[in-house]
Structure 1
């Protein structure tokens, strides 16, 4: 792509516990939202972006009106590699290209998030988020890292939410060597996840040595205990929701004092208890200078409804305005 999608945005890297602009070495705190939809929405007659109701005007509203400098973009592995409903994988990748271009033209980075492996297989009742990646995830990241090798506006979130198998999940856990763990094994700890994180990072770096890679924790990406890994230029990503509790210092806060930490997702309902939780979390993240992308602009828990902020969205917007 030769930087055609990045509109002059500088490359990002890490220094100690901060994300920095590589051209100036200036620290930068990335704050924004998740714009979900491309991970599940098939194309309509106009294509994948229309199928996900994703437009340039919406990206402009997110970046300019809400002052986001990053958009986390969940996507579907199978759509990248094979397309969907008669549309090719190349067409799906072009849709991702377009979002990257729209965002970067306004000054925002795009964090590509491997959210779903496909749109057909469930991992437990109606759960489309797999516990671990599969071998095609290596091909996936090799493909995208090659496509965006010269695009500093593109950041890489390896795998959405590593987690234990659910009780009704019929599939065994995948190992990074192509085999599987015993069918009775349900736990996903750092022992199972970190080899995958290493393998996927290597796949990206084989095509794009300078890529900034985001690595989630276990327990649906929440728990970063057991990090960091012996990898350079990575950010460790936590997902924080009210049902996970409040042990933030041990789970991710203390880690942020030595390596870059990011909250790839957080959210909650418009109830008083959840809103109090989110207010405290946003304040805590701010005190530690941890960046974040709130979940979700377009899926529950909603940040906006028809562009009008929910009570949760008001908290997010106020935090962005103070950045």
Structure 2
């Protein structure tokens, strides 16, 4: 008897991510930007359960407010299921239930993790048996961060962020994630960066685009290989941070607060507004989490790197 012929759910867990480093190229004629980013998957997860059904549907629960999430065809998990069904010629549907922990519109790739987990879950449920490369190709069609949610670990992303190459990271890095009570639109942050670059053109220390394709700097890779949080703290960088802070000035105050409370460094993750604070170890991370919580900041301790989307049994 196949899974699809039973009432048993396929359970897949996929991680959120942080961007340890992000360089953004100039805006292209199509309105997009090439990037070079260092991703790390962290232990804040999305849990997707998939049951066989006549149609494709999705529902949400979890530790974050999901009341505003769409459940129609605009939802990324629904798009993932429909794309796989169309690609593999699957006539049936799936009922998806997603327990969310990753902040919504927080720059941590929660929706991308949902999509990646849905691809893995539906591939198992429908027994489509797609190869790793085929799933990766579908993931890239869904969004720039979806392929990384499939693979997890630590990786360098180029192009739109979806061309991945693994990066060696030894040991475990401890992060405290300060979760904002508001979201930021990714397109709006990129547009603000474009405006900032025009305003700052020719000025010393301006946020100019890199000459040629953006690249991840060598000191980031060296710090990851060494497993050295002090070196990594010195290498953290995000071109989008200035734009995110200009749209939401409270983020700059939050970074200052976390660094004064003992973080080695703080960085806006992706397009924000989640701020990732790097700590010197687990004990320091817990102390920082307590300090931020005392200042009425929603703070979560996570570690990385962790695995990408995978089926859980039992």
Length-normalised TM-score, structure 1: 0.30
Specify the structure having the higher radius of gyration (Cα).
2
TM-score (norm 2): 0.31
Which structure features the higher share of strand residues?
Answer: 2
